[in-house]
Amino acid sequence: MTGEGGRGTGDEGNAIAVATWSLSEPAEVVDSLFALLSEDERVRAAAFVREEPRRRFIVARGRLRERLGERIGVAPADVAFRYGPNGKPAAEGVQFNVAHTGDLALCAFADAPVGVDVERIRPIKNATALAERWFHADEVARIAAAPEPLAEFFRTWTMKEAALKLVGVGVGESLPKVLTPAEGAGWATGLPGNELGIDRCWVEPLAIDMEHVAALAFSPPPSSV
């Protein structure tokens, strides 16, 4: 599934568009996308030991360059990325964030910082232990009480990661302090210190398909809140 959709977020002027695309492309398409990559991206592609992740990386970056180039009015190969202290890519003229899982890429484009995450819903043996280690105590209780604990686990995971990716902080020790909303959209609080000075953000689920769960994080919230 591949697509693009607009998403208004109220009167703050932060229109958000969300796009998904497939990372599985024939060899000739991979080659043409490779031609768009910068030297450092080619070095990164070459460092993959396995062919499949290497091809996925090339398609993810190549397609991202195409979409960013269209938005900011430059050729895809001329999009210049800079990186935050923890590796969040940024470009002049548009805010964006990318996530991928398997053959699927998800990206949000906006006027203000955004974060996204997507995961394929799959069985996880130690979901309870993982949640106890990395999630907020309220979230652990919520997962235990949910009619579908695994779906709730992934919903919580994507919301937490989207919030941390909004502020450009890596997933790590700060995870248990971030508290995501109990259901639907809402505030994620307890964000770690970051260069944007944001300590909470709005997170909401994104509908992708039956196999995936995804979340979008942004700030400020829609005016309807």
Ligand X SMILES: CC(C)(COP(=O)(O)OP(=O)(O)OC[C@H]1O[C@@H](n2cnc3c(N)ncnc32)[C@H](O)[C@@H]1OP(=O)(O)O)[C@@H](O)C(=O)NCCC(=O)NCCS
User: Which part of the chain contacts ligand X (CB under 6 A), choosing from 27-35, 98-106, 176-184, 210-218?
Assistant: 98-106
Which region holds residue 190: left if phi is over 0, alpha if psi is between -120 and 50, else beta? left
Min. distance of Cβ 90 from ligand X in angstroms? 9
- Cβ atoms of 213 and 2 closer than 8 Å: no
Q: Does 25 bind ligand X (CB under 6 A)?
A: no
Counting residues that bind ligand X (by CB under 6 A) gives: 16
Tokens for 48, please give them.
Answer: 């993959």
Min. distance of Cβ 108 from ligand X in angstroms? 11
Residue selected from 87, 123, 184, 197 as contacting ligand X according to rule CB under 6 A:
87
Nearest residue by C-beta to ligand X? 170
Min. distance of Cβ 159 from ligand X in angstroms? 12
Q: Does 114 bind ligand X (CB under 6 A)?
A: no
Q: Could you give the CA distance from residue 157 to residue 214 in angstroms, rounded to a whole number?
A: 9
The DSSP secondary structure of 3-40, one letter per residue, reads EEEEE--GGGS--EEEEEEES---HHHHHHHHTT--HH
Residue selected from 136, 165, 179, 204 as contacting ligand X according to rule CB under 6 A:
165
Q: Does 97 bind ligand X (CB under 6 A)?
A: yes
Tokens for 196, please give them.
Answer: 């944007």
Distances 2 to 20, 22, 83, 106, 177 between C-alpha atoms, Å = 5, 6, 27, 9, 34
User: Which part of the chain contacts ligand X (CB under 6 A), choosing from 83-91, 121-129, 137-145, 196-204?
Assistant: 83-91
Beta strands 114-120 and 212-218, pairing class: antiparallel
Residue selected from 62, 76, 113, 168 as contacting ligand X according to rule CB under 6 A:
168
Nearer to ligand X, 88 or 155 (CB): 88
List interacting residues with ligand X (CB under 6 A).
Answer: 57, 60, 86-89, 97-100, 117, 161, 165, 168, 170-171
